[in-house]
Amino acid sequence: MRLSPGAVWHLPEVLGPARRVLVVHGHRSFRAGTAAAAVDRIDADVRYYGGVHPNPALTQVREAVTLAREYAPDAVVGIGGGSAMDVAKCVAVLAGCAGDPGDYLLEPGSIPDRRTTTLVQVPTIAGSGSELTSFATVYVGNHKLSLDHPSARADHVLIDPDLAATVPAPTAAASALDAFAQAVESSWAVAATPESRALALRAVGMLAPVLDAATRRGTFADPGLRTELSHGAALAGAAINTSRTTAAHALSYALTARHGIAHGAAVGLHLRWLIGHNAGATDEDTRHPDGADALRGIIADLQQICLDGTGAPLEELIDRLLGMHGLSDFRMPRRDWRDDLSGSRATNNPRLVSSEDVLAHTSGAMRRNGPIVIAHR
């Protein structure tokens, strides 16, 4: 992994002898950015699969994989946000498989352990952590599927904070909130290891003062802040690659798929109340392998790290990021959350969560530091 301003210019170097390169990227802004200029320096035949939408659909993955099977690239380069990098993972892993991509999302065990195509990831915004993980999210309608396989992890990662210089503040806030949530969730996850938890706590410590400064200024324009944000987001991504995320992510997907809420903001809306919910764990309802006391200790450590770095608790920092994104008056939709709580992300949460818990915690809850209201409609 290379993480520094200008890292994208190392793209020709990391591609090495590749003669056919498929670049998977987002919308038209790619062509106006530095990343496109770096691609132009590649001494190889380059083809493009562009216009990846946020929260990519299986139809896009099928199109991209079909292109790759016809072109047979030596390398796949994902450039963009988490969605573009997720599609790049699917292409690199599934282009060498014979079946329909959707089948492998349902049965990842049939994917070969190794791939011959090089995978390079270049994030253009800090927060998703996708560049450092071995899983990808794909949607079929409102239903989320995942590619989760060791071969989906990139061979090379180039993190250039300057690529995020033109990202609008509301978009940057949602993405930064995703990174912060990943760090918090990884620290308390059932599947965490001592090593992943240490990474997660380091990420919280690095991210908290950056997010504090950005929300007070209303911008991530400062190059130093962007670099620190990239460092913290990378740590969080590395942590969740081991631990995975928990209930805040599990509950976020419906808000994104059905109500158009940006992924990081949707996670933040649920993370806020889950902090207190998990802190209230008892021996009867905890899933944490070290018990309820240990879980409460982890959350106390998280709160202290945030207080030391910002002078505010976790919930207040989340509120400010949601406000920066423009969700200061969001009202939580009334729905049955049982399906959202049936998957592996929810069962990785350290305290049991029921649909009734979600309703109880989000109905009419007034945020601590301002007029943000979560109420059912």
- Partners of 147 in the β-ladder: 136
CA gap 18, 354 in Å, rounded: 50
Q: Mark whether 159 and 258 lie in a shared domain.
A: no
Q: Mark whether 101 and 192 lie in a shared domain.
A: no
- Please identify, among 101, 128, 163, the residue that sits at the C-terminal boundary of a domain: 163
Q: Mark whether 188 and 55 lie in a shared domain.
A: no
Which amino acid is present at 133? T
Percent with pLDDT over 70 in the chain: 96
Helix, coil or strand: residue 154: coil
- Please identify, among 163, 183, 214, the residue that sits at the C-terminal boundary of a domain: 163
pLDDT of 30 strictly over 90: no
pLDDT of 369 strictly over 80: no
Q: Mark whether 105 and 178 lie in a shared domain.
A: no
Token output for 200: 């997660």
pLDDT of 366 strictly over 50: no
Q: pLDDT by residue (tens digit) across 66-102?
A: 999 999 999 999 999 999 999 999 999 999 998 899 9
Q: Mark whether 12 and 101 lie in a shared domain.
A: yes
Which amino acid is present at 89? K
Q: Mark whether 310 and 192 lie in a shared domain.
A: yes
Question: Per-residue pLDDT averaged across 174-190, rounded?
Answer: 98
Q: Mark whether 324 and 351 lie in a shared domain.
A: yes
pLDDT of 354 strictly over 60: yes
Q: Mark whether 239 and 359 lie in a shared domain.
A: yes
Which amino acid is present at 112? P
Q: pLDDT by residue (tens digit) across 247-294?
A: 999 999 999 988 899 999 999 999 999 999 999 999 999 999 999 999
pTM: 0.92
pLDDT of 376 strictly over 50: no
Q: State the first-to-last Cα distance of the chain, in angstroms, to the nearest integer.
A: 45
| Cα angle, residue 229 at apex, residues 266 and 231 outer, rounded to 5° | 120
pLDDT of 368 strictly over 50: no
Range of the domain at 242: 167-374
- The answer to whether residues 61 and 18 touch, using CB atoms and an 8 Å cutoff, is no
Q: Mark whether 148 and 186 lie in a shared domain.
A: no
CATH number at residue 60: 3.40.50.1970
Token output for 127: 């927060």
User: For residue 227, what are the contacts with CB-CB under 8 A and spacing of at least 6?
Assistant: 4, 5, 161
Q: Mind giving me the DSSP string for 173-204?
A: HHHHHHHHHHHHHHHH-TT--HHHHHHHHHHH
Q: Mark whether 218 and 238 lie in a shared domain.
A: yes
- What's the confidence (pLDDT) of residue 251? 96
Token output for 198: 């240490």
CA gap 242, 69 in Å, rounded: 30
CA gap 19, 100 in Å, rounded: 26
Beta strands in the chain (DSSP E): 2-3, 20-25, 45-49, 75-80, 118-123, 135-140, 143-148, 156-159, 365-366, 373-374
Q: Mark whether 38 and 97 lie in a shared domain.
A: yes
Token output for 345: 């992300």
CA gap 323, 330 in Å, rounded: 10
- Please identify, among 163, 188, 215, the residue that sits at the C-terminal boundary of a domain: 163
Helix, coil or strand: residue 181: helix
- The answer to whether residues 243 and 200 touch, using CB atoms and an 8 Å cutoff, is yes
The number of domains in the chain is: 2
- The mean pLDDT of the chain is 92
Q: pLDDT by residue (tens digit) across 148-158?
A: 999 999 999 99
Q: Mark whether 76 and 209 lie in a shared domain.
A: no
- What's the confidence (pLDDT) of residue 112? 83
Question: Per-residue pLDDT averaged across 138-143, rounded?
Answer: 86
Residue 79 Cα to chain centre, angstroms: 15
CATH number at residue 207: 1.20.1090.10
